[in-house]
Amino acid sequence: MNAQPETGIAAAASASSGVALSAQHVSASLGGRQVLHGISLDLAQGQWTSILGPNGAGKSTLLKALAGLLPHSGSVSLLGQPIHAMAARPRARALSWLGQNEASADDLSAWDVVMLGRLPHQAWLAPPNERDQAAVERSLRYTQAWDWRHRALGELSGGERQRVLLARALAVEAQVLLMDEPLANLDPPHQADWLCVVEALLLQGTTVVSVLHEITIALNANRLVVMREGRVTHHGATSDPATRDAVCQAFDNRIAIYPLNQQWVALPDFTKKASHGN
């Protein structure tokens, strides 16, 4: 793990101009069980931060707390403002959210679902304007969902539906985009397309924060937040060997990270299986 890939999103990271999201002493409980334990964290503007950790580490819970979607103690700030003090419409324009298994009206067309992302920009009961329509078209084309824009969401496959919901999040054109398992139901080629979308967002100065199970893809991020048992065990640049070591340690060193074709690749370490039974 000593070789250093020179290309990709992480290698092209630009200097941050500030903090997009800040958590101070954030704790949260679900079903009476404490899931997050006093997390303090600053996430840089204009960079892609990916949150990694084993099942049950609290990754999705942290992302929801950062989005202001979950009751918690401590404080969260968005672009320098306390998130719960922000009015709903400005907050919805500044931060876009894509969650796991998102519900949406199955009888709406893909076009109409993506147009929902423009609601924070529209006056009450006002029809979509040209800018709204352009943002929806651009987002559908970004996610390669344009061809079924007139089909009902309920008629789409899981992967097609996920691409429409991603387009809805993109249509907000927010400064900060949070995504929880955005690659769910996407095949490898469309996972690669998602990486291209993230790269384009970063070039525009958008802050991207994702929770991913696909460790190899997460290793393309500028920075990694590593979690275990509701705590952040490491936060650092992906290019730092200590960060990649922390990822392996979070998974009990049952994975190993190797350089391959100018990128990092995470593979299961099958030599460790004997100590965990057959």
DSSP code string of 133-197: HHHHHHHHHHTT-GGGTTSBGGGS-HHHHHHHHHHHHHHT--SEEEEESTTTT--HHHHHHHHHH
Give residue 105's pLDDT.
80
Q: Report pTM.
A: 0.90
Model confidence at 12, pLDDT cuts 50, 70, 90, reads very low
Is-contact 142 170, C-beta < 8 A? yes
- Mean predicted confidence (pLDDT) in 52-60: 96
Model confidence at 4, pLDDT cuts 50, 70, 90, reads low
Q: Which residues contact 271 (CB under 8 A, 6 or more apart)?
A: none
- Mean predicted confidence (pLDDT) in 120-129: 88
Beta-sheet pairing, 73-78 with 48-52: unpaired
Neighbours of 112 (CB within 10 A): 18
Model confidence at 277, pLDDT cuts 50, 70, 90, reads very low
Which is higher by pLDDT, 17 or 172?
172
Give the mean pLDDT of the chain.
90
- Mean predicted confidence (pLDDT) in 111-122: 94
